[in-house]
């Protein structure tokens, strides 16, 4: 397979407030190919990082999942290894499929598990509604914004479960975005 891609002359990599410039014109093509394949491999493999947590959440249910002891017992003795591995595979496949569809970003829950666009959109809408309700009640949204990621996800999912209309609204918004995307003439964009 052969591709023609345009790269910037320089790649700037930043970490810990410092940066390094790499002159891509000096990099051999074989190294660039390895870099692309490494990046895709890493992107897909990273999706499985939360497989044990995602599998435990599904198997135990939300209430039992809140107990670290329950999660440790479920994940720790190896008896559920096959389920965890299959969950990881599913999570990686989700990313691979989305990459093949041209989507680099994958929405992730607090446990690292890839979630469907509908759940992601519902969580986004629920967050807006929850923050609005808290501001109305308390004058601020600290009761929500002060939570860690996992607590936020649990709060959003609980709110969504109690308010099915959020899923309906999320689906309407996703359908509208899809229709808008399908109406774009890529020829007009010069692609």
Least confident of 70-74, 174-178, 184-188: 184-188
Residue 104 pLDDT > 50, yes or no? yes
Domain segments of the chain as ranges: 10-100, 117-189
Cα gap 104→124, rounded to integer Å: 19
Q: What whole-number distance in Å separates Cα of residue 161 and Cα of residue 169?
A: 14
pLDDT at site 115: 62
Rounded Cα–Cα distance for residues 157 and 160 (Å): 5
Arithmetic mean of pLDDT over the chain? 79
Q: Long-range CB contacts (< 8 A, 24+ apart) of 82-88?
A: 83/55, 83/59, 84/51, 84/52, 84/55, 85/51, 86/55, 87/48, 87/51, 87/52, 87/54, 87/55, 87/58, 87/113, 88/47, 88/48, 88/51
* DSSP result, 159-191: HHHH-THHHHHHHHHHHHHHHHHHT--GGGGT-
Share of the chain above pLDDT 70, in %: 87
Residue 126 scores a pLDDT above 90: no
- The answer, yes or no, to whether residue 186 has pLDDT greater than 60, is no
Q: For the residues 124-151, what does the mean pLDDT come to?
A: 76
Distances in Å between the alpha carbon of 133 and those of 77, 143, 159, 189? Answer: 43, 11, 12, 41
Averaged pLDDT, 144-165: 79
pTM (two decimals)? 0.52
In this predicted structure, what is the pLDDT of residue 164? 78
- Partners of 11 in the beta sheet? 22
Among candidate residues 130, 126, 117, the one with its CA nearest the CA of residue 171? 117
pLDDT (mean) for 62-84 = 82
Looking at the predicted structure, is the pLDDT value of residue 113 above 60?
no
Query: Is the model's pLDDT at 24 over the cut of 90?
Result: yes
pLDDT greater at residue 92 or residue 166: 92
The answer on pLDDT for 87 being more than 60 is yes
pLDDT of 191 reads 43
């Amino acid at each position: 397979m052969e591709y023609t891609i345009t790269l910037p002359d320089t790649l700037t990599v930043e970490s810990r407030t410092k940066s390094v410039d790499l002159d891509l014109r000096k990099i051999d093509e074989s190294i660039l190919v390895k870099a692309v394949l490494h990046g895709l491999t890493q992107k897909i493999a990273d999706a499985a990082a939360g497989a044990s947590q995602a599998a435990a959440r599904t198997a135990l249910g939300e209430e039992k999942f809140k107990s670290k002891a329950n999660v440790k017992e479920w994940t720790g003795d190896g008896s559920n290894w096959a389920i965890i591995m299959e969950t990881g595979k599913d999570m990686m496949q989700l990313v691979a499929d989305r990459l093949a569809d041209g989507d680099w970003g994958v929405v992730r829950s607090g446990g690292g598990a890839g979630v469907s666009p509908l759940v992601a959109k519902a969580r986004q809408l629920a967050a807006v509604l929850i923050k609005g309700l808290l501001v109305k009640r308390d004058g601020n949204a600290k009761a929500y914004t002060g939570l860690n990621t996992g607590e936020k996800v649990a709060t959003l999912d609980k709110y969504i479960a109690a308010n099915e209309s959020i899923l309906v609204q999320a689906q309407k918004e996703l359908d509208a975005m899809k229709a808008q995307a399908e109406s774009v003439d890529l020829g007009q964009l010069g692609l």
